[in-house]
């Protein structure tokens, strides 16, 4: 094991993209909805567009322009923005149907290596999401996919969104650890960079299809992260976690 | 299943006394410490005394006299009070040794029915502590005893101590549920009474030896709780949770 990781006492995980394949899951849930309402957009393009509204929406919270709100509210607002953009009258749609589509973010499949990798990592480390999602969303996603978290950290614990430093620092503090004893596992260089700036340990896992077949970002590590791997199983190997 | 529990979406658990046997665990950890420092007190009496300082210490937070602090700080202060009371000069003892003894609250054995009961309950409901303990303490206790929580709720999430209403209400809200869809499992009538006053569902589990062989409190339900049982396994039966 890398020397710097000997003292790690918790592994926090970015979730959307790192643990679960949001693009396929959102496209799968959107397809019947789009057909039913005759909205002429490819379900994968719809997923990409919905996701692309995520950062600007959080930015209004990060900047202090609006108070902290749970991600599910931002996702719902973004859904309405997106529907309006495609000429759909979301105000005339049943609220329950929009709420149901918004819940698609809680029914996303883990990447194929995740369950085995997490089961092994959990034998040695406590594990939990360090995501911008709210606790209830992370809980329902975990129940859907069988993710064996020990507890849920992240934006709602800190009442701030990554990459703001307090999201990482308050998550580590909540489990009683100084930053250098807490590692973030993420498929995004920017997330790891912000975590490292706070003193956290960093584990990069390549997810080259998060954004589909033509992905051009985060294909490779952009810094000398403590660990670089292609799967959670490889992370478990590198951290000497016993086999199942 | 009782009709009122059909819609329950999360089971929150009181922990000290309900899930784990704090008295035996604290006595076990205290015994060598007391011998080493020649403090002439029975380890079980020491455990009872330590525990008896718990409510008054939290009261100073509940009353607003001092700001919210994590339980581990109160437990440490109480330990020092207790040692002083028995004529021990805690200021002359190594800090690490006191910290180690304070950690005894994170190394307590679950009652014999707990692991099987929780495993069954978890098949049907998300589960987590709704304790006055801090997140890190609950996490370490879970890792010690193999408690399969989905996430950790309670005092630190709410920044208030039970039986203050916000501890229950903010815990339910954190997992996205209205109070009547959240059930508290506890061995203490007072805890359940406060939870019910907030609208939560209530499950009483008898723990007749929590306070040792001569226990005189909480031997029986004092109200018509939604469920009354003698073990978590019986709760799982009454909630129609599949067998393992």
DSSP E strand stretches across chain A: 10-13, 127-131, 153-154, 182-186, 201-205, 227-229
Q: Peptide bond preceding A163: is omega within 30 degrees of 0, i.e. cis?
A: yes
- The Cβ-side half-sphere exposure at B213, using a 13 Å CA radius, reads 1
| Nearest-angstrom CA–CA distance, B171 and B195 | 11
Strand A127-131, strand B127-131: pairing: unpaired
pLDDT at B3: 62
Closest approach of chain A CAs to the CA of B150, in angstroms?
6
B156 to chain A: closest CA residue: A174
Classify A225 in phi/psi space as left (phi over 0), alpha (psi -120 to 50) or beta.
beta
Residues B139, A156: C-beta atoms closer than 8 Å: no
Nearest to B184 by CA among B148, B241, B235: B235
Q: Chain B contacts of A136, Cβ < 8 Å?
A: 174-177
Q: How many CB pairs under 8 A join A and B?
A: 53
DSSP state of A243: P
E-state strands within chain B: 10-13, 127-131, 153-154, 182-186, 201-205, 227-229
φ, ψ (nearest 5 deg) of residue B99: -60, -40
Task: State whether residue B135 sits within 8 Å of chain A by CB.
Answer: yes
Whether cis (ω within 30° of 0) applies to the bond prior to B163 is yes
Q: Which of A124, A136, A146, A153 to mutate to test the interface with B (most CBs of B within 10 A)?
A: A136
| Residues linked to residue B128 through DSSP beta bridges, in sequence order | B12
Name which of A139, A176, A177 is nearest B151 (Cβ-Cβ). A139
A152 interaction partners in chain B (CB closer than 8 Å) = 151-152
DSSP per residue, A185-239: EES-HHHHHHHHHTT-EEEEE--TTTT-TT--SSSS-SS--SEEESSHHHHHHHT
Order of all β-strands in the sheet with B201-205 = B153-154, B127-131, B10-13, B182-186, B201-205, B227-229
**A158 Cβ under 8 Å from any chain B Cβ:** no
- Interface probe for A, chosen from B144, B151, B173 (most Cβ of A below 10 Å), is B151
For residue A4, pLDDT beyond 80 = no
B159-163 own/partner pairs: CB under 8 Å, 24+ apart: B159/B68, B160/B61, B160/B62, B160/B68, B161/B58, B161/B61, B161/B62, B161/B68, B161/B132, B162/B14, B162/B130, B162/B131, B162/B132, B162/B191, B162/B194, B163/B190, B163/B191, B163/B193, B163/B194, B163/B195
Stretch B37-43: mean pLDDT, rounded?
Answer: 96
Angle at which helix B165-174 crosses helix B189-197, to 10 degrees, equals 70
Question: How many CB atoms lie under 10 A from the CB of residue A119?
Answer: 18
Q: What is the DSSP letter of B168?
A: H
**Cα B232 to Cα B212: distance, rounded to the nearest angstrom:** 20
Assign B1 a pLDDT band (cuts: 50, 70, 90): low
**What's the confidence (pLDDT) of residue A2?**
64
Percent of chain A residues past pLDDT 90, beyond the cut: 97
Percent of the residues in chain A that have a pLDDT greater than 70, as a whole number: 99
A-chain CB neighbours of B126 within 8 Å are 139, 143
The four Cα atoms B120, B123, B125, B129 give a dihedral, to 10 degrees, of: 60
Sign (positive/negative) of CA torsion A76, A82, A86, A87? Answer: positive
**Could you tell me which residues come within 8 angstroms of residue B28 by beta carbon, excluding any fewer than 6 positions away?**
B43, B104
Contact B151 A152 (CB under 8 A): yes
Q: What angle do CA A120, A122, A125 make, to 5 degrees?
A: 120
Residues of A in contact with B175 (CB under 8 A): 135-136, 139
Contact B143 A149 (CB under 8 A): no
What phi, psi does A200 have (nearest 5°)? -75, 160
* CB B165, CB B198: distance < 8 Å: yes
CB contact under 8 A, A151 and B174: no
Strand partners, A202: A184
Q: Could you read off the pLDDT of B51-93 as tens digits, one per residue?
A: 999 999 999 999 999 999 999 999 999 999 999 999 999 999 9
- Within 13 Å, how many C-alpha atoms sit on residue A210's CB side? 20
Task: Name the average pLDDT for chain B.
Answer: 96
Check if A134 contacts B (Cβ < 8 Å): yes
CB nearest to B151's CB, from A135, A175, A177? A135
Residue ranges of domains in chain B, CATH in brackets: 3-21+108-238 (3.40.50.1000), 22-106 (1.10.150.240)
Mind telling me how many Å the CA of B136 is from chain A's nearest CA? 4
User: For all residues of chain A together, what is the average pLDDT?
Assistant: 96
- Interface check B66 vs A, CB under 8 A: no
| B151/A174 touch (CB, cutoff 8 Å), yes or no | no
Q: Is A149 on the interface with B (CB under 8 A)?
A: yes
CB spacing of B174 vs A142 below 8 angstroms: no
Contact call for A156 and B174, based on CB within 8 A: yes
Q: Minimal CA–CA distance to A111: which of A242, A233, A226?
A: A233
Q: What is the pLDDT of residue A3?
A: 62
Query: Is pLDDT at B2 greater than 70 in this prediction?
Result: no
CA-based nearest residue to A105, from A218, A39, A21:
A21
Task: Give the strand pairing for B227-229 and A127-131.
Answer: unpaired
> Which of A128, A136, A176 lies nearest to residue B175, judging by beta carbons?
A136
- From the list B136, B157, B176, the residue facing A176 with the nearest CB is B136
A114-140 mean pLDDT: 98
pLDDT of A6: 85
Specify burial of residue B53 (Cβ count, 10 A radius: 0-12, 13-18, 19+): middle
Supply the pTM of this predicted model: 0.96
Q: Which of A151, A175, A176 minimises the CB distance to B151?
A: A151
Contacts of A150 in chain B (CB under 8 A): 139, 142-143, 149
What band does A156 get if pLDDT is binned at 50, 70 and 90?
A: very high
Across the strands, what pairs with B16?
B20
User: From CA B147, how far away is CA B127, in angstroms rounded?
Assistant: 10
Taking CA atoms, what residue in A is nearest to B146?
Answer: A150
């Amino acid at each position: 094991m890398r020397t710097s990781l000997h003292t790690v006492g918790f592994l926090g995980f970015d979730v959307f993209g790192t643990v679960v394949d949001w693009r396929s899951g959102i496209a799968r849930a959107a397809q019947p909805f789009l057909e039913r309402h005759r909205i002429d957009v490819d379900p994968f393009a719809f997923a990409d567009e919905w996701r692309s509204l995520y950062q600007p929406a959080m930015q209004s919270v990060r900047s202090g322009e609006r108070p902290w709100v749970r991600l599910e509210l931002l996702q719902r607002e973004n859904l309405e923005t997106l529907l309006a953009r495609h000429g759909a009258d979301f105000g005339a749609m049943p609220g329950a149907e929009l709420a149901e589509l918004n819940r698609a973010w809680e029914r996303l499949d883990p990447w194929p290596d995740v369950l085995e990798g997490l089961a092994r990592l959990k034998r040695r480390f406590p594990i939990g999401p360090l995501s911008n999602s709210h606790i209830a969303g992370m809980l329902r996603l975990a129940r859907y996919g069988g993710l064996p978290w020990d507890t849920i950290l992240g934006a709602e614990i800190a009442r701030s969104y990554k990459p703001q430093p307090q999201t990482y620092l308050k998550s580590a503090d909540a489990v009683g650890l100084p930053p250098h004893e807490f590692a973030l596992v993420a498929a995004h260089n920017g997330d790891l960079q912000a975590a490292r700036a706070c003193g956290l340990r960093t584990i990069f896992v390549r997810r080259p299809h998060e954004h589909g077949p033509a992905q051009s970002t985060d294909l490779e590590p952009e810094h000398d992260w403590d660990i670089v791997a292609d799967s959670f199983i490889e992370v478990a190997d590198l951290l000497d976690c016993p086999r199942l």
